[in-house]
Chains A and B, each alone.
Chain A
Amino acid sequence: MILVQDFEYKPGEHEAEKASGSYLMSLVALVGGLPFPIINLFATLGFFMANRKGTHFVRWHCTQALLSQFSLLFINSFGFWWTISIIFSSEQITNNYIAYIITIIIFNLTEFVATIYTAIKTGKGQHVSWWLYGDVTNLICKP
């Protein structure tokens, strides 16, 4: 699922720090923005925009972090509005709702663990490519 690969060049210490920062940014935003899924995306997008003129290594990891947040946005937003409708309208808690919330918790936790792991590895200058997200990033982010 997560592969530690060789990048096309050996990134410098400063680059590794910045690339690792993109994951940390999404982590901090994830904790701060838990009730509002869009906050994570905005925070990561902000970091991505700030580094869009950075080196290939930094841009690559900012893009991978952004993509991972983007996919979570959809599933989390659906869960968020479902919860709002239960609190403020006549919707009731059902088995389907609980099943959905558990599903998004599983996916968010997986992403959370993967993000911490990747932040540590990238901080050491290692190139970590995620399953699917790494492939999409390769297509988007050219040297």
Chain B
Amino acid sequence: MEKVIIRLVLIVAFFFATYTALKEVDWLTLFNVEHLTSKSEEKLGELFWEYYSQNEHEIKDTIITIPIDSILATICKANNINKDNLKLHVISSDEINAFALPNKHLIINLGLLKAVENQDELCGVICHELAHIEKNHVSQKLIKEIGLSILISNTIGNSSPEIINNAVMLLSSTAYDRKHEKEADLQAIDYMLNANVDPAPFASFLRNSFGSDYQFSEHLSWISTHPDANDRADYIFANIENSTRSFNKILAAVTWDNLKLRIVKE
């Protein structure tokens, strides 16, 4: 019996040793498997942003942009994320939406800023989009929906406006798959807790928006395109129910109030 066990352990060890040794080889390069390199993603990001910004007005008002940038900086610092690579854009659109483009472009619509009732709700949405960026969901979605070879051909000079339009529409108006959305929600909770921000208002935002008059609003892209907001609110609440800690606000009350006042004027 002892001999059998020793031999079994040896064969299992041999299997894992073979696998571990083979893992060290860069097979993707060796077999020339196409994958979206960081350089290609950088080019795609610039291409998409250039296209998107042509048709939209980017808000440069510092009363609006600086507080949002501060929120983003605080979240990044608390979660060891390099903020220098992130490109934050606030867009003058009434659609309640926020989304990410390749190469870490984070786009927040004015409509979303108007819809949120407090800064914690906004933090939740920012953290959710940040999670999509950090977990590389943006590239994965593009590759799945558009195809790797088409994306790569766009980065090497064969760019087609139709494909760019489709890709930007895909990223701005449709949700990620359910697994990625849940992953981003749960990661967002971690980001918020690490930054000492209360995640409960984010869950309430999802639930209230879904149950309110907003539900059938044509402007409510961020909620209506995502998986059932009530389900999401439930699992966010389930993940934070044991938390009894006290939370902070990233922005001073006066800064948040000024931001909200300025948004109304926009």
| A132/B18 contact (C-beta < 8 A), A90-B140, A90-B141 known | no
Q: Which chain B residues lie closer than 8 Å to A136 at the CB level?
A: 4
**B22 — nearest CB in chain A belongs to which residue?**
A99
Cβ-neighbour of B143 out of A92, A98, A103 (below 8 A): A92
Look across to chain B and name the residue whose beta carbon is closest to the beta carbon of A95.
Answer: B27
The tally of residues in B whose CB lies under 8 Å from a CB in A reads 26
Chain A positions within 8 Å of B, measured between CB atoms, are: 75, 89-90, 92-96, 98-100, 102-103, 106-107, 131-132, 135-136, 139
Would you mind naming 6 contact pairs between A and B with Cβ atoms under 8 Å apart?
A90-B179, A93-B28, A99-B23, A102-B27, A107-B15, A132-B7
Instruction: Establish whether residues B28 and A95, one from each chain, have CB atoms under 8 Å apart when the complex forms.
Output: yes
**Could you tell me the distance between the alpha carbons of A94 and B177 in the complex, rounded to whole angstroms?**
20
- A residues near B180, Cβ cutoff 8 Å: 90
Inter-chain contact total with CB atoms closer than 8 Å: 55
Quick one: which of A90, A92, A132 contacts B4, CB cutoff 8 A? A132
**Pairs A-B, 4 closest by C-beta atoms:** A99-B22, A98-B27, A132-B7, A99-B23
Chain A: CB-nearest residue to B144: A90
CB neighbours (8 Å) of A89 from chain B are 177, 179
**Chain B contacts with A in 181-235, Cβ cutoff 8 A:** none
Q: Which residues of B contact A (CB under 8 A)?
A: 1, 3-4, 7-8, 11, 15, 18-19, 22-23, 25-28, 31, 33, 35, 137, 140-141, 143-144, 177, 179-180
**Contact for B140 among A92, A96, A98, A132, CB less than 8 A:** A92
**Bound complex: CA of A75 vs CA of B3, how far in Å?**
23
Whether A135 contacts B23 by the Cβ 8 Å rule is no
- How far, in angstroms, from A93 to B143 measured CA to CA in the complex? 12
- For the complex, what is the distance from the CA of A18 to the CA of B114, rounded to whole Å? 79
Task: From A131, A135, A136, name the one whose CB has the most chain B CB atoms within 10 angstroms.
Answer: A135
Q: A107-B15, A132-B7 are in contact. Are A139 and B27 (CB under 8 A)?
A: no
Q: A95 to B26, Cβ gap below 8 A?
A: yes
A106 to B177 alpha-carbon distance, docked (Å): 35
The verdict on A106 contacting B7 (CB below 8 Å), with A93-B28, A139-B1 known, is no
Contact (Cβ within 8 A) B35 A92: yes
Are A94 and B25 in contact (CB-based, < 8 A)? no
Within the complex, what minimum Cβ distance (angstroms) separates B201 from chain A?
Answer: 30
User: Which of B3, B18, B35 has the largest count of A CB atoms less than 10 A from its CB?
Assistant: B18
Q: How far is the CA of A102 from the CA of B18 in the complex (A)?
A: 9
Residue among B15, B26, B141, B177 with max Cβ neighbours from chain A (10 Å)? B15
Chain B residues with Cβ under 8 A from A94's Cβ?
Answer: 28
Q: In angstroms, how far is the closest chain A Cβ from the Cβ of B76?
A: 25
Residue contact A99 to B27, C-beta cutoff 8 Å: yes
Query: Which single residue of chain B is at the shortest CB-CB distance from A90?
Result: B140
